[in-house]
Every structure is written in C-alpha cells, then in structure tokens.
Chain A
C-alpha cells in the first residue's frame, strides 16, 4: 500500500510517498498564490516522478498552512503532528523537534512512539521566524540562503537585544551605520532569533535528541546559534524541509478509512 503526504507551507509545497514503511519519493516546489493548485501540482509531479497513478495511492493526508484547501486529501492534520510523525519515521529516537518555518516557529516534545506530548509556538511577534531573518537579510543586502554561511565567519558577533522585529531592524540599521562587520551583525541576528526559539524549547522542557526541521534548518548559522543556546547538538537531515510531508504520509497510513 502506498500513502501520500502533502505539506503546503507559506513559501514551498512539499509532497512525499511511503510504501510498506519505507520512503518512496519526495519533492519540493514553490507554493505560489493558489494553495489547491500548488497541492495538485506537487502531488501530480511527484506521482509522475515515481511513475504512479492517483489510483495507486491508498490515502492522502494534507498538512501545513494551506492544509484545509487540499480538497482531495482524506484528512487534514496540523504540521505539528506531521513533523512529529515525520521525525519519528526518519529517526525513531528523536524526542524533540525545533521547526522554524516562514510564518511560525515551534518546539515539539515527542513520546517514544512519535506522538506529540507537548508543543509551543511563537506568539504574534515574528522574531525568531523565517520572516524575521528575511527582513534582516533585506536590510543587510544578503541573499537569504547565504546568511548562514556568512554568519559563521563572524569573529565578534554583534549583540541585538530587541525582541521586536521593528526594533531589531532599527538596531541593525544603526550597526550598519557604525560600519560593524556584516558577518558579525548576521551572527548577532542568528543568535537573537535562536534566543526566541530557545524560549519555546524551554517552555516545553525539551529533551534530546532534537531534530531541526523546516526551511530554516538549511541555514547553518542559525542552526549553530540554536545548538549554542540549547547546549545540545541538532540532528539535521537532508530531508529537513520534507519532514512534514513525510509525516503526513505516515499518518495517512494509519488512517482508518
């Protein structure tokens, strides 16, 4: 039996297929404006890539920001549950997840079955999310995907104390005016964002081993700052971005239809 998971995030759409408890295939595409179209596109492209038909799929679970728009899914489940299931599928020993996405950051605590025991999400404030990093990257004129690498070259990380994105931006601008090194400012930004996420982790008393998922996991500087704050290494797999979609497929296999 083959099961599919579709994760419609705010920036990218992901899909995954599993068969008999092993991962068959995954895919990532940009979401664009229309959630349902993105869902159809990502699903059909993946099926094509795997040489399968819709009839071959026993069940589909959708997740992510646009999960409710995917009308052909058998069930919509939250990305928190899916990241939990996905992380457990990829690494059965994982007990904690840090998921930093575009809109939200989350810390999730798992039991030994991969079920969610507790979780915390950022409040209205955007500090500590992908959006925060994006605003800062723009202020510094650095490509978003270069930020991690640049930040790791800091020799004396700057200190950003404001928790508010708007305040932090004005702090960063005054650092630019003082001609502080870009690397140092970026390292400071990563640390400020990591500090917010670490508060979420502390709230749920997170345990290791911890996996980092979501798009921002690809930012090596942010990951390093988080490891420093959490005083624990993070497991970051090559499928960090697809974890939610994989989890959705896993949960689809458990549906009683």
Chain B
C-alpha cells in the first residue's frame, strides 16, 4: 500500500493540502460533520474539507466555550481563532448536536471567512415531510453556493460530483470488507488515515489513490491473524494512538460505525435519481448519527448486525467526553448487545487525551475477557 503515505501526509498537514488544491484552482470550504453534502460543494467548484481539531492547547476558545464542551468543538474553534484555518474560504455547518449549533453561532459572530452557511437539516430522517424538507434545504444550499461562486451548478456538475464521491465510498467499502476478511494485516492507524485522508485531500486524487489501494489489496490474500475481532462504535475517533493500543493489546478492528469511519462513507447516492433527491435519500438510509432520529432502535439494529456480519468478538464504545447524543445512546446500545451475548466496553475519549496508560490497561483487560 504505497499510497498510504499520501494519505498520512494529507492528514498531517491539511493546510498544505488546501493550499495545493487552491493553486490548482479550487477554493476550500470546511465542514464539520458527516452530513455535509460534499457532492454539492464539489459541484460548485469548491473543495470540501472536513475540519478536525489540531489538538493545540485551548487558549482563545476559553473565552467562548466552557470546559464542559467537547474537545472537538473547542479544538476547532481554537484553530480558527488562532488563525490556523486561514486557508479556508468558507465553512458550512450542518445541524447536528447542540454544541455544533452554538459553535456555528460563535463562528459566524466572530466571522473570518468569506462564505458561511448553516445547513439546518431535519433532526428526523424517517418521515416524508422531513425528506421533502431535506431536499429543499439542499436546494437552498446549492443556491447559496452558486451565489458565492457566481456560477450556476448544472445537473451534470452534480452528477459528476456524485459519481466521484461514490467512487471514494465504493473503494473505502472494499478496503473495509477486505480488512474484515484479513484482520490485522492493515494497521488500524493506516485504515483510518485512508478514511480521514479522503475527507481532506482533493476528491479526484483520493478516488484515484484509493483505486490503487484496492487493486493492490485485490492481489494479496494473506492468512487471517489470531487477534480478537473488535467493532468500534461511537462518534469521532481522531486519536491514531488508540488503534495502535488496540493492536498492541491483541485486538484487530474489523468494522465500525464511527463518524470518522464507515458512517461517513456508508451507502451510495443513487446515480439515476435526481441529484438532490439522491443525496437526501442517502442521508436517510445510511448509518445514523445519534443526533438524528431514524427510529427508536435504528442504531442498535445496525450495531448488532454489524457485529454478526463481521463475526466480531466484542464492541468497544469510543465515547467522546461531553458528546451528549452518544452518551444517551450508550446504555441502550450496550443492553442490545448484552441481550445478544455480545461483550462490550465503553472508553471515554478526549482529543486532549492525557492518560493513554489507562486506556491501554482497560483495552488489554477487555480483549483478554473476550
């Protein structure tokens, strides 16, 4: 997998990545969650780039967000206030949780970038009126982008962008499936760098590089290792050390429902549907963020079948400290797993994590219990 270095490079320096893309003619619009319609941003001639915290010490954001706000939200605000995101031309905030909602206000009020949009998506994903609303909000977003770029977005632009984003999704899905059949061969840190890199680098470059990864994997068939098979469940996991700790403890990651993992690339946009309907429908069908409602047991059903399909030995919940939607779901998800006799354990995470020692102790013990 010689391509992996390019992904690590993009992950390690999103600024340089954005500046290169800018030189090639695309301005960057940052986004903050996996419900951002990258297809529309790309079709408008912008480069959609997911923002993460660079994990610098929180200094400037202390004047805007209290300590009981999650490290992701505080960290991204810190980066913006400190000028580390000056390469951005704009940002889009899809509505998800309460903290992101307020971050968007604070961001707008301390405005630094030319383009700003709140994409107030529905919180419900399972009713007809919500689907209609979703499509209308996306149409409005398209108009906003057109106004920003001064260029009309045609259906062909949208279709091309959909095909491109679908290529990335299909390739990542292949890598995940391959990884599940040959656990322990691809390092977790590499696997998640592929996903995160694809959120950061140029879309076409990501799709082409991933095609290379796919073809090299297709030609190899290493034997499966003896590691314990784990599913990761939770929100954002942006700490590569965690994956190393899992592997050191004798585990191998065989699947996830993470916002920085499968949830981001899950499901394809129908290429034969009207573009905006297709994009809206995908959000309704793919893995759900707990800040959205897709039914009372949607997330538990998905998680249990994920464990079954991937023949996993256990589930590690990676819960970002102060992430309310995930914290509310944890007891019921755990209960659903308990009912099926699936072992699980919760790990509280923080972008500014200081006690990796404790994480390793718990992970080793958990894997030993499986």
Contacts and interface: CB of A to CB of B under 8 A. Distances in A.
A contacts B directly in the complex (CB < 8 Å)? yes
A81 B321 CA distance: 26
Interface string B251-275: 0000000000000000000000000
A256 to B, nearest CB: 14
B358 A78 contact: no
A104 B365 contact: no
Contacts of B348: 123-124
A117 B369 contact: yes
B362 A121 contact: yes
Interface in A185-213: none
Interface in A42-84: 65, 77-81
B364 interface: yes
B369 A78 contact: no
A25 to B, nearest CB: 26
A116 B368 contact: yes
A79 B361 CA distance: 8
Contacts of B368: 77-78, 81, 116
A117 B365 CA distance: 10
A81 B243 CA distance: 22
A80 B355 contact: no
B83 interface: no
A77 B364 CA distance: 8
B350 A124 contact: yes
A124 B319 CA distance: 13
A121 B355 CA distance: 13
A119 interface: yes
B357 A65 contact: yes
Contacts of A123: 321, 348
A124 B364 contact: no
Interface in B347-366: 348, 350, 354-355, 357-358, 361-362, 364-365
Contacts of B362: 78, 80, 119, 121
Contacts of A115: 369
B365 A80 contact: yes
Contacts of B358: 103-104, 121
B169 to A, nearest CB: 35
Nearest to B343: A118
Contacts of A103: 358
Q: Which among A79, A103, A115, A124 has the highest number of chain B CB atoms within 10 Å? A: A124
Given A124-B321, A124-B350, A116 B369 contact: yes
Nearest to B357: A65
Contacts of A65: 357
Contacts of A80: 361-362, 365
A124 B364 CA distance: 18
A250 to B, nearest CB: 14
Contacts of A116: 365, 368-369
A78 B364 contact: yes
Nearest to A108: B365
28 contacts: A65-B357, A77-B364, A77-B368, A78-B361, A78-B362, A78-B364, A78-B368, A79-B361, A80-B365, A81-B365, A81-B368, A103-B358, A104-B358, A104-B361, A115-B369, A116-B368, A117-B369, A118-B369, A119-B365, A121-B358, A121-B361, A121-B362, A123-B321, A123-B348, A124-B321, A124-B350, A124-B354, A124-B355
Given A78-B361, A118-B369, 17 more contacts: A77-B364, A77-B368, A78-B365, A80-B361, A80-B365, A81-B368, A104-B361, A116-B365, A116-B368, A119-B365, A121-B358, A121-B361, A123-B348, A124-B321, A124-B348, A124-B350, A124-B354
- List 8 tightest A-B contacts by C-beta distance, closest first: A80-B365, A78-B365, A78-B361, A78-B364, A123-B348, A116-B369, A81-B368, A81-B365
